[in-house]
Amino acid sequence: MRERRTKGTALSREVVERVDRLLTEADHVLITAGAGMSVDAGFDYTDERQFGRRYPRMAERGPRCRYHVFGYPWPSEAVQWGHLARHLQELRFQPPPNPTPYLQLCALTAHRDRFVLTSNADDLFERSGFDPSRIWTRQGSYSRLQCLARCHDDATWPAEQWVRAALPCVDLATEELVDATLVPRCPRCGGRAMLNVRGGDWFIDKPYQPQAHRLRAWLDQAASGRLLVLDVGSGFNTPPVVRWPAEEIAHRHADAHLVRVNRDHPAVPAELGARALSLACAGAPLWAALTERAAVAA
Binding site for Zn ion (CB under 5 A): 147, 151, 155, 186, 188-189, 191
Minimum Å gap between C-beta 187 and Zn ion is 8
Residues 61 and 76: beta-carbon distance below 8 Å = no
Residues 233 and 261: beta-carbon distance below 8 Å = yes
Minimum Å gap between C-beta 84 and Zn ion is 17
- CB closer to Zn ion, 186 vs 290: 186
Minimum Å gap between C-beta 199 and Zn ion is 16
Minimum Å gap between C-beta 186 and Zn ion is 3
Task: Give the pairing type, strands 156-158 and 140-147.
Answer: antiparallel
Residues 6+ apart with CB under 8 A from 119: 33, 34, 35, 137, 138, 139, 234, 238, 241, 242
30 has which bridge partners?
A: 115, 229
Residues 6+ apart with CB under 8 A from 206: 153, 154, 156
- CB closer to Zn ion, 84 vs 277: 84
Minimum Å gap between C-beta 193 and Zn ion is 8
- CB closer to Zn ion, 128 vs 156: 156
- CB closer to Zn ion, 186 vs 282: 186
Burial (Cβ within 10 Å: 0-12, 13-18, ≥19) of residue 26: buried
CA distance 252 to 47: 37
- CB closer to Zn ion, 148 vs 286: 148
